[in-house]
Structure 1
Amino acid sequence: MINSDDLRFFRIIANHSSLAATARALNVTPPTVTQRLQIIEQKLKLKLVERHARQISLTDEGLLLAERARLILAEMDDLHEVLNSQQHEISGCLKILAPLGFGQEYIAPLVTEFQGQHQSLSVELELSDNPDWSSGHAWDIMIYIGELRSSSLKLSVLAANRRFLCASPAYIARYGQPETPADLRQHACIALRENAEDVTMWRFTANGSDKQEAVRINPRLASNDGRVIKQWALAGCGIIQRSEWDVAAQLKSGELVRLLSDYQLPSADIVALLGTDLRARSARTSKFLELLKERFVQQPWNQ
């Protein structure tokens, strides 16, 4: 008979692409992971994992076990928290996924503050600009910025966030400013590759109009790291499309200049995605969500 430790161990395997990656996550050797997996399979008399050259895939039985393990472990964690709540204590493990740059700047400080207020709570914060949506339910809260086409997760808006087109004064002095979106085809544009968006299609809406104009850019430079493209723009390498939270300080200081201000880009609200509805949500998740809303409604990047 398998136990809760076996379920937690198998959930870690299910969330990684290989047994070697699982070993790194657990800080153990790959043979240790293989041996423990074999013991679980022997207990169940089932094959749970197909081993390939450099990766693994779950069998149908493995997929079923991973999903049921998620539900069982969530129930166990919630039960533990309910029991602790009798002592007015927030505990358990809060799992958060956030974008890399925004997570470093704004989420990580709130995590340490929140954990400091609740000493029985542990927090796992993963930062990624290319999250694995298939494992979305493995997280209590996912912070998302950008165009969200579809999701089965619950959405809670944390803050409005506009997108701006901008460049450095040095770039403008050398190449001039675009007067219309179509002029961008003659400029050096820089693309940020994130969230599987079509990052070379820039869409504009003239102020006071509902008509959208789309321009396909041919980026001179592209990166999956927002910090890199901002540094390129600051260095005068080209024009970027970037979130208000990231460039507000540089626009205020004059290091960057907003372009095509007579047009609006699609907004990219900062939202929290949650795997459960309000009634089933744990206290640790609800309280952290309250903290996020309290802080971000003030838009600290504009202070």
Structure 2
Amino acid sequence: MKLDLQEIETFLQVVELGSVSLAAERLGVVKSVVSKRLSDLERRLGAKLLYRSTRKVTPTESGLQFYPRAKAALAALHEAAELASLDDSGLCGSLRILAPMSFGTLWLAPLLAEFMQQHPRIQLALQLDDRISDFEREGYDLCLRVSHLRDSALIARELAPSPRVLCCSPAYAQRHGLPQRPEQILYHACIGYSNVATSQVWSFERLDAPGEPLNLSPSGRFTSNNGEAMRDMAMAGLGLAVLPVFIVQRQLDEGSLQVLEPGVRPTDNWIHALYPRSRRASPKVLALCDFLQQRLANPPWQQRL
């Protein structure tokens, strides 16, 4: 039996995306090409792999059995090809990366440009999105997150700490005063991050007892799934906000925002690089992780505090 790698790759994309149209878009071909590749693959195997309807595509029992083995075999083949290409020309191939919007625009993009200059045979596709997604299913090689992680199905590599601050504008402080004790935060208008949960929970540690946690559930008139939008609302005097220093370091330097420490400070997050446990990271993924970890060993935003 002679198998076609394009047909197998197309099948994997259709299963992962659940759609012929989305797979065609991802692969850069028209829908008819995807349909033909699927039909040819089924004919080669002598088995029906997919149920197709006007709304979605789902794998048959045969398709469910074929999918994980085909995915593992194709990943192993790509890894072998990549290792074989590691000659004097260095790393090569494509990388699809998912990262948060603000971190991506403010800090990550310049670092990726430097990485690409060092490895001219690497092609990068960077998707910036603050939502938490199933990045493996969506075909990304690497996902960067700024958070506390609890997902044991992922391999997480810590790249750098991401300190956060409780802040507001000087104008807000002048109009409403500043909280002197942690519980007084609840009496202030607070700007929430809607990407975490519908109800806001701010996590702090006490200054007089480091490591002792304190959780508060503030409320306010504005929430957003983007830190830069939250920062701008805080600068406009609409309330208190807990934000990563990498988003507000310039505003803190300029004085358009000020740090508050009413006996507590926000717990730090970490910048993580994630890839699935289900497959080994490729040399180019590991090389990029090494590069980012090295460049972020002394984060520039920490130096501004």
Question: TM-score w.r.t. structure 2 length?
Answer: 0.86
> What is the CA–CA distance in structure 2 between the aligned matches of 1:91 and 1:79, rounded to whole Å?
13
Residue 117 (structure 1) aligned with residue 113 (structure 2): no
Give the superposition deviation at 1:127: 2.0
Give the superposition deviation at 1:275: 3.3
> What is the CA–CA distance in structure 2 between the aligned matches of 1:138 and 1:82, rounded to whole Å?
21
Query: Superposed, which structure 2 residues align to 1:27-106 within 5 Å?
Result: 27-51=28-52, 54-87=55-88, 89-106=90-107
Distance 1:71 1:262, change over 3 A: same
Query: Superposed, which structure 2 residues align to 1:126-165 within 5 Å?
Result: 126-133=127-134, 135=136, 138-165=139-166
Query: Superposed, which structure 2 residues align to 1:161-176 within 5 Å?
Result: 161-176=162-177
1:90-117 deviation digits (Å, cap 9, x = unpaired): 1122232211221222222222322232
1:52-74 deviation digits (Å, cap 9, x = unpaired): 55444444443444433332222
C-alpha contact (below 8 Å) 1:192/1:199 kept by paired residues: no
Aligned partner of 1:294 in structure 2 is 294
Give the superposition deviation at 1:138: 4.4
- What count of residue pairs does the alignment treat as equivalent? 301
> What is the CA–CA distance in structure 2 between the aligned matches of 1:120 and 1:134, rounded to whole Å?
24
Q: CA RMSD in A?
A: 2.7
> What is the CA–CA distance in structure 2 between the aligned matches of 1:130 and 1:59, rounded to whole Å?
30
Secondary structure, counterpart of 2:156 in structure 1: strand
Give the superposition deviation at 1:159: 0.9
> What is the CA–CA distance in structure 2 between the aligned matches of 1:273 and 1:298, rounded to whole Å?
20
> What is the CA–CA distance in structure 1 between the aligned matches of 2:55 and 2:229, rounded to whole Å?
31
- Counterpart AA for 1:257: Q
- Comparing 216-225 with 49-58, greater Cα deviation is found at 49-58
Distance 1:110 1:64, change over 3 A: farther
- Counterpart AA for 1:160: P
Query: Superposed, which structure 2 residues align to 1:154-303 within 5 Å?
Result: 154-194=155-195, 196-197=196-197, 200-209=200-209, 210-260=211-261, 262-275=263-276, 281-303=281-303
1:127-184 deviation digits (Å, cap 9, x = unpaired): 2222323626944322111121223222221111112111111222222212223223
C-alpha contact (below 8 Å) 2:192/2:220 kept by paired residues: yes
- Comparing 48-57 with 286-295, greater Cα deviation is found at 48-57
> What is the CA–CA distance in structure 2 between the aligned matches of 1:238 and 1:49, rounded to whole Å?
53
Gaps of 5+ in 2: none
Secondary structure, counterpart of 2:17 in structure 1: coil
- Counterpart AA for 1:180: R
C-alpha contact (below 8 Å) 1:181/1:204 kept by paired residues: no
Residue 23 (structure 1) aligned with residue 24 (structure 2): yes
> What is the CA–CA distance in structure 1 between the aligned matches of 2:167 and 2:225, rounded to whole Å?
18
C-alpha contact (below 8 Å) 2:208/2:263 kept by paired residues: no
> What is the CA–CA distance in structure 1 between the aligned matches of 2:278 and 2:50, rounded to whole Å?
32
> What is the CA–CA distance in structure 2 between the aligned matches of 1:163 and 1:256, rounded to whole Å?
13
Distance 1:204 1:86, change over 3 A: closer
Distance 1:149 1:281, change over 3 A: closer
- Counterpart AA for 2:133: D
- Counterpart AA for 2:226: D
- Counterpart AA for 1:82: L
Question: TM-score w.r.t. structure 1 length?
Answer: 0.86
Distance 1:211 1:232, change over 3 A: same
